[in-house]
């Protein structure tokens, strides 16, 4: 288990780590065990100096003249990301998005175990996804009192999200993965990570428009 704190590392570096982790896994799957920062740079799309700088924040993993040991780097980044532990999840709001997340088995393989889905819709309550029960949202408060939950995934319409979060027991719920398009107010011990697919989509539409303008200029 990784007990070192990396609190001084910038969030920009932290947000690049999952990408390193993903590419290193692909290398391991191809039985590639050693890679230079130059090759890694070509693969990932970050400059070699960026890669060296990023990994130096954590004490560096490369060896002059050898490059990186892929397995060691993959394991170390996994530890820094906390992926050497397991996490218990619940999903609140079991509609399209909540069910899609529940059906995505890769999270489980990375150590994120889904305990239950909660919803207000009586048609859903009592059903199961992959043996995981849909429960009445009225049971949510008691459930988080009785059970340790690392992460609550909020997938309700935005107008209900704050009310839901207020019901979570702050001693037992450590983090919120928030998909509802609203800024949540939480006690200081709870960490919120917001996800906005639309931000990524709108960045793409910006880039498409920029390219069109450039192409028109060249014609
Ligand atoms: P949906 O309408 O399919 O599902 C919402 C579910 O929440 C329904 O099953 C409904 O019964 C349930 N619900 C409503 N009030 C509730 C309450 N008080 N307690 C518990 N459950 C309740 O909607 P969808 O498409 O799954 O979207 C869910 C949320 O995720 C919305 O806020 C939407 O804006 C957001 N969203 C965010 C994305 C992102 O990238 N952040 C992408 C897609 C959706």
Dist CA 53 CA 59 (whole Å): 10
Q: Which residue puts its alpha carbon closest to atom 1 of ligand 1?
A: 95
Q: What distances in angstroms separate CA 92 from CA 160, 162, 194, one per listed residue?
A: 10, 12, 15
Q: Which residue puts its alpha carbon closest to atom 14 of ligand 1?
A: 156
Tens place of pLDDT for every residue, the chain, 219 residues? 456 677 778 899 999 999 999 999 999 999 999 998 889 999 999 998 899 889 888 776 767 677 889 999 999 999 999 999 999 999 999 999 999 999 999 999 999 999 999 999 999 999 999 999 999 999 999 999 999 999 999 999 999 999 999 999 888 899 999 999 999 999 999 999 999 999 999 999 999 999 999 888 887
pTM of the model: 0.91
Residue 161 Cα to ligand 1 midpoint, Å, equals 9
Buried b (16+ CB within 10 A) or exposed e, 92-129: bbbeebbbebbeeeeeeeeebebbbbbbeeeebbeeeb
Answer yes or no: are the C-beta atoms of 102 and 91 closer than 8 Å: yes
Residue 98 Cα to ligand 1 midpoint, Å, equals 7
Dist CA 50 CA 52 (whole Å): 5
What is the CB neighbour count within 10 angstroms for residue 25?
A: 14
Q: Which residue puts its alpha carbon closest to atom 9 of ligand 1?
A: 95
Q: Which of 98, 127, 157 to mutate for ligand 1's pocket (most ligand atoms within 8 Å of CB)?
A: 157
């Amino acid at each position: 288990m990784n007990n070192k704190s990396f609190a001084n590392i910038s969030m920009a570096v932290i947000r690049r780590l999952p990408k390193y982790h993903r590419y290193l896994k692909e290398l391991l799957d191809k039985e590639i065990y050693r890679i230079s920062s130059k090759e890694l740079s070509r693969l990932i799309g970050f400059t070699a100096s960026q890669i060296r700088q990023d990994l130096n924040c954590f004490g560096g993993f490369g060896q002059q003249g050898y490059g990186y040991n892929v397995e060691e780097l993959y394991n170390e980044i996994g530890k820094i990301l906390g992926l050497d532990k397991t996490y218990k999840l619940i999903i609140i709001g079991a509609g399209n998005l909540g069910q899609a997340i529940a059906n995505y088995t890769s999270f489980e393989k990375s150590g994120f175990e889904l305990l239950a889905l909660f919803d207000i819709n009586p048609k859903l309550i009592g059903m199961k996804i992959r043996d995981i029960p849909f429960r009445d949202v009225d049971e949510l408060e008691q459930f988080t009192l009785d059970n340790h939950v690392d992460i609550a995934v909020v997938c309700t319409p935005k107008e209900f999200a704050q009310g839901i979060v207020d019901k979570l027991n702050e001693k037992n719920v450590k983090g919120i993965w928030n998909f509802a398009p609203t800024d949540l107010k939480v006690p200081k011990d709870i960490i919120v990570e917001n996800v906005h697919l639309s931000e990524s989509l709108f960045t793409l539409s910006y880039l498409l428009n920029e390219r069109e303008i450039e192409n028109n200029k060249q014609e």
